[in-house]
């Protein structure tokens, strides 16, 4: 009997492969680093072949850890960095150029032009997104505009467009399947969010030949089989979702108003909105959630640009910390922040402030302030920004989340999670397995292939709120004063 479910987790900085056993436990995990290329100011690319090779190598390494081969695999789940845009030749399978990653800002001028036209509003309304270089559509247009020969080959139907999930599916099936899962499709700026189909008007607006587009597939279901020549076995590809949507599933946030927050470099909030696509008035995005049933599911999404990166900044730029983990002991070695607030607007501020051009500040310094207060202020700033995001989202949707499930690197920090619970006046829950992304992809594939009965979700710790309303209010007032000074 096949023993393991393979989750391929293709991220920005690495490709990982995780083997889950029939109890839903992680049996093995292997990771291969990936390089990004920065050819111009604000441009970010990756080598498409390197993405595949790293993924393939991590699969081999994970299997080796268990002393087994692909014959032990039951099915594959895929989760991936979203929005990253690839184009390849349909007949040779060769990429026509590098992958343009989600971080790449090269199409800022094109987006600014659309934003000042009449098209921005209806495209946003249909896709749930904003017109921004982040999403795939303008990146794809840029690739076609970069070379008249490519534009012609696209019109001739010779080229394929895909996001990273499409690319991995294409490689795993040895070119037999050109597909994209619905959550990834919802991030291209080409999909009608409510219909779940490519939008003809938007395709015409960006002048994208429909023949380039992959088939939109469900997130959970057997969408194709791996090639025996590539993987050594023919097994179903049965779960696919973009990283944030996969994390939502991995955290078992699969009903309306359940929410997860990932504290990584930035902080990513996703709130499930059930079978309804909700519209935000404060610039949050509406997106597809990975559905395991017949009906379409939706989520609302917002992010804080600088979260864990504020801790990195203290460590690498100011030399206040040797390791990120040390921040917890330093923060708890003082009773409070001593009036010090860090507004880590290193890349401007995102939702709900949307102030791209402001920059960070450290305010409230007295002669008594030392590095412990600054470190504490940095950790508090992660929770305070997340609080503002959640508050904005709740006033937008009119719904309340009852608890917040967290993951990501900085979720290891107990002080941060307790402070977050105190600010929200609601429990913050940390699972044992912080790799929610891989787990989500595995859950989607398991559901479609009857691999396990119940997706496991083990709580490591529940942080209960423990702050008086007066203290909370004065904390928030001081933070908002600091923010106001920056804005």
Query: Where do contacts with ligand ADP occur on this chain (CB under 6 A)?
Result: 13, 264-265, 308-309, 311-312, 324-325, 327-328, 408-410, 412-413
Contact present, 273 and 256 (Cβ < 8 Å): yes
> Based on CB atoms, which residue is closest to ligand ADP, 256 or 410?
410
> Based on CB atoms, which residue is closest to ligand ADP, 119 or 326?
326
> Based on CB atoms, which residue is closest to ligand ADP, 214 or 250?
250
> Based on CB atoms, which residue is closest to ligand ADP, 324 or 365?
324
Could you tell me how far CA 245 lies from the centroid of its own chain? Answer: 7
- Unique residue bearing structure tokens 């659309």: 114
Tokens encoding 458: 């083990």
Closest CA to 290 of 80, 14, 105: 80
Minimum CB distance to ligand ADP, residue 410 (Å): 3
Minimum CB distance to ligand ADP, residue 29 (Å): 14
Minimum CB distance to ligand ADP, residue 326 (Å): 8
d(CA 389, CA 350): 9
Minimum CB distance to ligand ADP, residue 309 (Å): 5
Angle at 206 between CA 82 and CA 280, to 5 degrees: 55
> Based on CB atoms, which residue is closest to ligand ADP, 342 or 410?
410
Minimum CB distance to ligand ADP, residue 220 (Å): 24
Tokens encoding 365: 């310094």
> Based on CB atoms, which residue is closest to ligand ADP, 208 or 416?
416
Tokens encoding 90: 């349909």
> Based on CB atoms, which residue is closest to ligand ADP, 271 or 330?
330
Minimum CB distance to ligand ADP, residue 408 (Å): 4
d(CA 273, CA 259): 9
Contact present, 53 and 95 (Cβ < 8 Å): no
Minimum CB distance to ligand ADP, residue 311 (Å): 4
Contact present, 41 and 103 (Cβ < 8 Å): no
Q: What does the DSSP 8-state code read for residue 70?
A: G
> Based on CB atoms, which residue is closest to ligand ADP, 181 or 435?
435
Contact present, 245 and 270 (Cβ < 8 Å): yes
**For residue 159, which phi and psi values (nearest 5 degrees)?**
-110, 150
Which residue's beta carbon is nearest to the bound ligand ADP? 409
Stated as kind and residue range, the H or E segment containing 330 is helix 326-332
Minimum CB distance to ligand ADP, residue 264 (Å): 3
d(CA 84, CA 305): 18
Sign of the torsion angle spanned by Cα atoms 187, 193, 196, 202 = negative
> Based on CB atoms, which residue is closest to ligand ADP, 380 or 396?
380
Length of the chain: 487
Q: How far is CA 472 from CA 454, 468, 477, in A?
A: 39, 6, 9
> Based on CB atoms, which residue is closest to ligand ADP, 46 or 220?
46
Q: How far is CA 17 from CA 48, 58, 61, 438, in A?
A: 18, 5, 8, 8
Minimum CB distance to ligand ADP, residue 9 (Å): 11
Minimum CB distance to ligand ADP, residue 236 (Å): 28
Closest CA to 86 of 4, 171, 1, 28: 171
Minimum CB distance to ligand ADP, residue 435 (Å): 9
d(CA 270, CA 268): 7
> Based on CB atoms, which residue is closest to ligand ADP, 72 or 324?
324
């Amino acid at each position: 009997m096949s023993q393991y479910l393979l989750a391929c987790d293709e991220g920005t900085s690495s490709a990982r492969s995780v083997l889950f056993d029939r109890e839903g436990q992680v049996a093995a995990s292997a990771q291969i680093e990936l390089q990004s290329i920065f050819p111009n100011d604000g441009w970010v690319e990756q080598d498409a072949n390197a993405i595949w090779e790293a993924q393939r190598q991590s699969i081999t390494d994970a299997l080796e850890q268990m002393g087994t081969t692909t014959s032990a695999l039951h099915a594959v789940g895929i989760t991936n960095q979203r929005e990253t845009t690839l184009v390849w030749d349909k007949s040779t399978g060769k990429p026509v150029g590098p992958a343009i990653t989600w971080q790449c800002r090269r199409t800022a001028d094109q987006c600014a032009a659309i934003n000042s036209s009449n098209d921005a509003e209806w495209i946003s309304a249909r896709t749930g997104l904003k017109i921004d270089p982040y999403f795939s559509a303008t990146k794809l247009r840029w690739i076609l505009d970069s070379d008249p020969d490519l534009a012609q080959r696209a019109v001739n139907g010779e080229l394929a467009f895909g996001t990273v999930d499409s690319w991995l599916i294409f490689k795993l099936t040895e070119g037999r399947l050109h597909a994209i899962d619905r959550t990834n499709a919802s991030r291209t700026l080409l999909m009608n969010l409510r219909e779940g189909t490519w939008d003809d008007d938007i395709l015409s607006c960006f002048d994208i030949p429909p023949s380039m587009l992959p088939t939109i597939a469900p997130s959970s279901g057997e969408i194709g089989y791996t090639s025996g020549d590539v993987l050594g076995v023919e097994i179903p590809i049965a779960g696919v979702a973009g990283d944030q949507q996969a994390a939502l599933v991995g955290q078992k946030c699969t009903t309306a108003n359940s929410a997860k927050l990932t504290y990584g470099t930035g902080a990513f909030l996703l709130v499930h909105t059930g079978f309804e696509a909700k519209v935000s008035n404060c610039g949050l995005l509406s997106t597809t959630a990975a559905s395991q049933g017949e009906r379409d599911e939706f989520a609302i999404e917002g992010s804080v640009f600088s979260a864990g990166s504020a801790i990195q900044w203290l460590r690498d730029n100011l030399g206040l910390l040797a390791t990120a983990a040390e921040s917890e002991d330093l923060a708890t070695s003082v009773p409070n922040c001593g009036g010090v607030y860090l507004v880590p607007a290193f890349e401007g501020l995102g939702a709900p402030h949307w102030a791209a051009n402001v920059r960070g500040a450290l305010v409230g310094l007295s002669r008594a302030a030392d590095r412990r207060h600054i470190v504490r202020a940095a950790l508090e700033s992660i929770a305070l920004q997340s609080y503002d995001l959640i508050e904005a989202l709740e006033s937008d949707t009119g719904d309340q989340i009852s608890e917040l499930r967290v993951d990501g690197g900085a979720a290891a920090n107990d002080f941060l999670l307790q402070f977050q619970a105190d600010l929200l006046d609601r429990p913050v829950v940390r699972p044992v397995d912080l790799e929610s992304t891989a787990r989500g992809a595995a859950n989607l594939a398991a559901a479609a292939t009857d691999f396990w009965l119940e997706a496991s979700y083990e709580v490591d710790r529940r942080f209960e709120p423990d702050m008086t309303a007066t203290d909370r209010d004065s904390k928030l007032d001081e933070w908002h004063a600091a923010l106001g000074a920056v804005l």
